[in-house]
Homo-oligomer: A and B are copies of this chain.
Amino acid sequence: MIIVCNKNASTKSVDELVKRLEEVAQTHISKGENSIVIGLVGDTSKLDPEDIKAYPIVEKVQRVSEPFKLANRKFHEADTVIDIGGVKIGGGDFAVMAGPCSVETEEQIVYTAKMVKQSGAKILRGGAFKPRTSPYAFRGLKAEGIRLLEIAKKETGLPIVTELMSLDHLEYFENVDIIQIGARNMQNFEMLSEIGQINKPILLKRGLANTIEEWLMSAEYIMANGNENVILCERGIRTFETALRNTYDLACVPYMKALTHLPIIGDPSHATGKARLVRPLARATKAVGADGLMIEVHPNPAKALCDGAQSVTPEEFELIMQEL
């Protein structure tokens, strides 16, 4: 960590700051013409740059090393490979999760599960507890939705992934294979701490406007609590461009591969909000080096109770899988 202080700072105030810093790491001081620079060497992950900026003599604070450790490839060179009942995510394997935005009926979910399995999907997705901007919108079948997912799992053998919206619902997740943390809960730190104590793979979606570093820090929360089975999922970020629902940040995939050993998948359905863009972006997600995809598939998108605009039909999904 590098701390730049005002060149007019008194010796006393610099000493005070240095004293506090040395409780944590070693310091090196160099005085330039326009500033005094303090370098910190050692483990600075416990220091929050914002706290150091509170010293009135401090002008800038810049990290040299990343604040995450368990998620950092520097300390864990090999790719993490997550095994879900034989399905592998990470380390060169490419896995596709597919299914409807919302579970609606037993028929719908079982039919979709069979279709996507036949096309090559390895994991079944389906929303039971649904985050909705409006309190007046359909919010999912909840516990019943998970029960229906379990039926589809039995019928097809596909492991299931579904979103957790509250720790109070954890009791229903016993047979869920991967717990999804949605974009809006990416910085729900209490939830991250708790699921860090569970022994199940976690699919951590990137927040709407969260940086790559914040995202990895949220993975670190889960890992620091004991659960190292984290799969990252890029699902589009919020920018000034509103023609599409979000801006799909595909460049983050190869960039992050150098920073972390965790697997990263992409979700072109949520990223764009448009079914017709899923196919070209699925190709691009694979081409860029991601470890898998999450794709929304619905037997009749126009009648979907939620997010139909971004769901492809089983026929389109079959074409996507053939191309991949």
Task: Evaluate contact between A137 and B189: CB separation under 8 angstroms.
Answer: no
Residues 201-242 of chain A: 1 if any B CB is under 8 Å from the residue's CB, otherwise 0?
A: 000000011111110010011001100000000000111111
Q: Does A51 contact B (CB under 8 A)?
A: yes
Known contacts A67-B134, A220-B134: does B251 contact A277 (CB below 8 Å)?
A: yes
Task: Evaluate contact between B288 and A284: CB separation under 8 angstroms.
Answer: yes
Residues of B within 8 Å of A309, CB to CB, are: 50-54
Q: How far is the CA of A184 from the CA of B45 in the complex (A)?
A: 22
CB distance from A23 to the nearest CB of B (A): 12
Known contacts A54-B304, A136-B224, A302-B55: does B280 contact A254 (CB below 8 Å)?
A: yes
Q: A residues 29-48 with Cβ under 8 Å of B?
A: 30, 32-35, 37, 39, 41-42, 45-46, 48
Q: How far is the CA of A274 from the CA of B311 in the complex (A)?
A: 34
A interface, size bucket? 35 or more
Q: How far is the CA of A135 from the CA of B307 in the complex (A)?
A: 34
Task: Evaluate contact between B64 and A35: CB separation under 8 angstroms.
Answer: yes
Task: Evaluate contact between A39 and B41: CB separation under 8 angstroms.
Answer: no
Known contacts A62-B62, A280-B287: does B41 contact A33 (CB below 8 Å)?
A: yes
Query: Residues of A at under 8 Å CB distance from B?
Result: 2, 4, 28, 30, 32-35, 37, 39, 41-42, 45-46, 48, 50-56, 60, 62, 64-65, 67, 74, 129, 131-137, 139, 165-168, 184-185, 187-193, 208-214, 217, 220-221, 224-225, 237-245, 247-255, 258, 268, 271-277, 280-281, 283-289, 301-302, 304-311
Shortest 8 CB-CB distances between A and B: which pairs? A54-B308, A209-B209, A53-B309, A287-B287, A166-B190, A283-B287, A284-B284, A284-B288
